[in-house]
Structure 1
């Protein structure tokens, strides 16, 4: 029977009983492994609880305003400045989003309007499905899926070939979606080499390029474990999407979108109820509490705090890999040196785990092309709620299963 809207309000005790929290992924016996989410940082929970009661609405973008801002808007502005500096350009525009999908749609929306027409979007087979949504919404029909290399990165030789092939039939504007932390493999596209290739092609053929970086997974990982230049250090990177509710340990829903200064003008629309004010976001109304939680946790942890957390998680991941390989339970398909690993289980039904194991550890198998064949793999994220004991239990369950 379907739930009906009640005529009379229900008894408060009945409501509270219905909302009692059951088991979650903190349990060491059945730990949540398959997705990049975890129990949020306690400070983030505290800040969110404190500010959610004020129900403050953030409409618009605050990085392009010189006027006096109230406290929460000022904190969001500072947050975007901090993140811009982390990614190579402190003079960026941007705002706190609902997550990576919104950020990817924003980047591709801006790129499409920036180029206006006759544009081709290039991605790989590993690219997140939100990019497909964006192409559908923007009615981008020229789409190329570039093969990935054995290191699960965009194949740069194929990228060049496909750009020149499209150029030969009159297409001169290209949106390139690069990923920093593919959901399935954790690997990153070589943005530096891609940027260099695009520079050479622009010089030679006067082709125009826009790189959007999907860093929902890796945006709060790679800057803290690598000294390499990142994102806005590269000429053609115009926008980036990051997810604090993944590797930033912020409560859902918290994403961040950033772009080069002034690029949001390509999607701005006037707010009819506020004179001279333009809306340069996708969803307009946003919770102030998410922005403040991000500001608080990021300032509390700092670069050193994020690095320490990641080092601990990577050690746990290496322990898991060692145990899996020692006991010949699985082979590593991709280990990008982060807190994530993509593996293929051996001696199972075509690589598939039994349903009870999948459910217990929240694991979903998927097909991936590896050494010229399609195999079933699983992605495992070692997040702050995962312990050595919980991984030992996982290994024991696998041994009993096989």
Structure 2
């Protein structure tokens, strides 16, 4: 790892205090032109003594605005200190984790993975229109049926057709024959440009798509395409558990990646991350944002710099080795659950490198769904799956209690079947 180190809390606090001093200080500086300020002092007091030892809360109260994209051109100089911290975060994720070339990427910390996915599709749609003279009805999105709902949302917003590729019920793997048929049919109907979304950890199953499936079929049909990786869930898991993973910017066909920090990284909700190769993000420049210093290349516009500082603190609290250790502990707990389910002959899906276990619904009584806050694939009678996500708060004791309940249910079912 080049940038990603472990820093003691004292060094972290000094770094954040330095960044805040480089930002505009709405309390002491004469700042007449900004349509913003520190948080309202009547509600969020900045004179309470505990703020001195809480650098993230100091940042929250100072209220930095990270409007724009700080890897591309100029940015609002009033918040240069915390913007530099955002760049440090993006460098760790792009270069250290996903193997991008130094200075070969752009990106920003978005208000969630949904926006980051929409940002990617918006960017590629405009790229095809600007650089390939594509017509809107010649562009299509293709992704698996397990893909996050942000993809059909993007299709709706951007007026694009979305083609969902069926997956195998048990393995959740893309049906390659169906993929080929769908692409051939779309091509025959006038589609020439494709935005392919490949998952690194689907929301319901934690399943990993093989991006080569999309590459192979799209190139077989001699179609122009861009490939986006939705790693909103798996981005802080899979690269650390599967050292042989080839899903990174080392693959020249992969052009962008979405990662959520508010999932595995346990950052505050509303913290997504978008990374793309250089030469793409300028396709979503809003030229009309003339009052913004630099260029607004994001969907959201204004966004809180506090989220960037929160991610920075988490990354530098653990360092690369500490993070690997944390993820491996969760893997061990997931292994324990899977072994216990195997002993009960209960069918489930789990990618071996992920910490999501999705169980066939027929094994889960309704009362257990409520007791353990299990998440169904569908909130109606057609539901076929329940998922368990082994996060940091889920300990083996909790899993053991769940298995004991499940075991007693299984025995009760067997007795009832025997009596009948």
Q: Describe how 1:3-402 pairs up with structure 2 within 5 A.
A: 47-65=55-73, 70-85=80-95, 86-89=97-100, 90=102, 91-116=104-129, 117=136, 118-140=138-160, 142-149=161-168, 150-201=170-221, 205=222, 207-227=223-243, 228-270=245-287, 272=289, 274=291, 277-328=294-345, 330-344=346-360, 350-355=362-367, 357-366=368-377, 376-402=384-410
Taking only aligned residues, the RMSD between alpha carbons, in angstroms, comes to: 2.5
The alpha carbon displacement at 1:168 in A equals 2.9
| Unaligned stretches of 5+ residues in structure 2 | 1-41, 43-52, 130-135, 411-420
Q: 1:247 to 1:112 in 2, by over 3 A?
A: same
Q: Secondary structure at the match of 1:110?
A: helix
The structure carrying a bigger strand percent of its residues is 1
Q: Secondary structure at the match of 2:234?
A: coil
- What is the distance in 2 between the residues matched to 1:240 and 1:343? 28
When the two structures are superposed, what TM-score results if normalisation uses the length of structure 2? 0.75
Deviation larger for 75-84 or 144-153? 144-153
Question: Deviations 1:304-339 (Å, cap 9, x if unpaired)?
Answer: 2221111111111111122233234x2223343321
The alpha carbon displacement at 1:366 in A equals 2.4
- The answer to whether the 8 A contact 1:192-1:234 is kept is no
- The answer to whether the 8 A contact 2:198-2:230 is kept is yes
- What is the distance in 1 between the residues matched to 2:286 and 2:352? 41
Question: Deviations 1:259-285 (Å, cap 9, x if unpaired)?
Answer: 111312111113545266321011111
- The answer to whether the 8 A contact 2:227-2:255 is kept is yes
- What is the distance in 2 between the residues matched to 1:271 and 1:166? 35
Deviation larger for 146-155 or 101-110? 146-155
- The answer to whether the 8 A contact 2:229-2:256 is kept is yes
Number of equivalenced pairs: 343
Q: Secondary structure at the match of 2:266?
A: coil
The alpha carbon displacement at 1:401 in A equals 4.4
- The answer to whether the 8 A contact 1:216-1:241 is kept is yes
Deviation larger for 392-401 or 101-110? 392-401
- The answer to whether the 8 A contact 1:181-1:216 is kept is yes
- The answer to whether the 8 A contact 2:74-2:293 is kept is no
When the two structures are superposed, what TM-score results if normalisation uses the length of structure 1? 0.79
The alpha carbon displacement at 1:144 in A equals 1.4
Q: 1:104 to 1:46 in 2, by over 3 A?
A: farther
- What is the distance in 1 between the residues matched to 2:351 and 2:282? 40
- The answer to whether the 8 A contact 2:74-2:295 is kept is no
- The answer to whether the 8 A contact 2:114-2:150 is kept is yes
- The answer to whether the 8 A contact 2:196-2:214 is kept is no
